[in-house]
Amino acid sequence: MEDRNHNLIRSTPFFKGLPEGSVEKATAHLVTRNHPANQVILLENDWGSSVYFILEGWVKIRTYNLEGKEVTLNILGKGEIFGEMAALDEVPRSTDVITLAPTIIGNMPAQDFVKLIYSEPMAGVRLAQLMGRRLRQVNRRLRLRESDSTSRVADTILFLADGQGKQTTEGVEIPNLPHRELSSLSGLARETVTRVLTKLEKKGLIRRDQDILRIPDLNALEKIIV
């Protein structure tokens, strides 16, 4: 199992293309842990002593608004990284992280991560690419916050497909998340999300199985956003 987890770490997008010696050194103290669904991994204001790599499963990044309502900021899956900003800034974390499914996470000591960024230029490029993609996602969601409900749900699905989509012969697959998670991501009532998903499915723009939401044509879904 440890060999499998070690191989999973090396196959994550962040490490692809990095020299073998640099990867070996950076992951020397990495520890893998199994977490059940709905377990809090990090709490807001925790100090950034580790950086985390998702080897299997899904987590959500959440915070709370001024009224105390939970707000989902992002959903991350296999191959993604979180906790990197607190490690670099040496400040407490600004969000909570909770698992959505049984999840395997690799914990890397923050100092090892920082040393890798300073010593390996390609690691810095990988981090910049990650930050750039997340910033584009946030900007897009902000632009669409005044759009109609169909556009907002469609964009939330595309947002998840961009970050976690898996290309198959039948289209792009993402996890069929609970409607409350899509509600929090889109800023819409759960009943509205349910109604829009049913409409999108009737139009053939999405297909839902028990655990998978499939998008046959990303461009077709993109075109309904106004």
Q: pTM value?
A: 0.79
pLDDT, position 2:
56
Buried b (16+ CB within 10 A) or exposed e, 190-199: eebbeebbee
Are 113 and 69 within 8 A, CB to CB? no
Cα gap 96→128, rounded to integer Å: 23
User: What pLDDT shows up at residue 149?
Assistant: 93
Closest CA to 182 of 206, 152, 142, 210: 152
Q: Distance between CA atoms of 7 and 13, rounded to whole angstroms?
A: 12
At 220, list the tokens: 């077709």
Quote the pLDDT of residue 217.
95
Q: What is the pLDDT of residue 143?
A: 74
Count of alpha carbons within 13 Å of 90, Cβ hemisphere only?
A: 2
Q: Identify the segments of the chain with pLDDT beneath 70.
A: 1-6, 44-48, 91-92
pLDDT score for 195: 96
Q: In what order do the strands lie in the sheet with 81-82?
A: 31-35, 103-109, 50-56, 81-82
Q: What pLDDT score was predicted for residue 219? A: 93
Measure the CA–CA gap between 215 and 221, rounded to whole angstroms.
8
Identify whether the C-beta of residue 61 lies closer than 8 Å to the C-beta of residue 96: yes
Which pLDDT score is estimated for 164?
A: 73
Burial of 166 (0-12, 13-18, 19+ CB in 10 A): middle
